[in-house]
Structure 1
Amino acid sequence: MEENVKSRLILILGILAVIFFISTVSSCGNAYRNKMVQVKETLQRKALEEKLNLLSQEKADQEETLASLQKQLDEERANHETTQKALIQEQLVNQSLKEELAKLTKRKEALE
């Protein structure tokens, strides 16, 4: 009987050892998968951070270019206004000279 109990005990301990071994292997597999997921997420995060840094740098460069172009545009507008005012003034002088010429032409005709 004692032999029977010993064999049952050995069988039960063997089954428990197999169960614990399987659970240990399964746990290691799950831990490995979780670690791989974590590594993959870390790599994705780093890639996205690098992309964000690159885009931030490009944005800063674009903003700098925009500010430069805006300054040039303001200068061109100021030059355009100055030129426009000079043109209007020249047109007024030209109109005045035409009127003066017309008056002189009428006087000349009147004298002839």
Structure 2
Amino acid sequence: MTPHRSGPERHLRDTLAELVREQLGTPIDADRSLFEAGLTSVAALAVHAGLQRSIGAEFPISTLFKYPTTRALAAFLATALDEPAAAPLDAAPGDAGWTPRARRELRAQLRQRKG
């Protein structure tokens, strides 16, 4: 079980939940796969775009497929951005689209929301 976190992770999870609800027309459990719940690839594009707008930075859409629940995606983003030296983004080959600039921008956005 993942420890309860607040701040950036909770904000990301809430934002994702709202974006997904807008696409599916109904809320889903934070641990349910977005795609098993009916999110199509076209709807995933809308969720991805909305999340990028919300945090003010770009990241690869493949991240949604790699972390397909709102809880997993929010935890991954928050952890990766909160702990830059140990960030899985730096080592994960599937996340090559995460440029150093994108990581800096995301970290800055999340830190602003902490305060």
**Shorter-chain TM-score: what band?**
under 0.3
TM-score, structure 1 normalization: 0.17
Bigger RCO of structures 1 and 2 (CA < 8 A, at least 6 apart): 2
TM-score, structure 2 normalization: 0.17
Q: Max radius of gyration: which structure?
A: 1
The answer to which structure has the higher helix fraction is 1
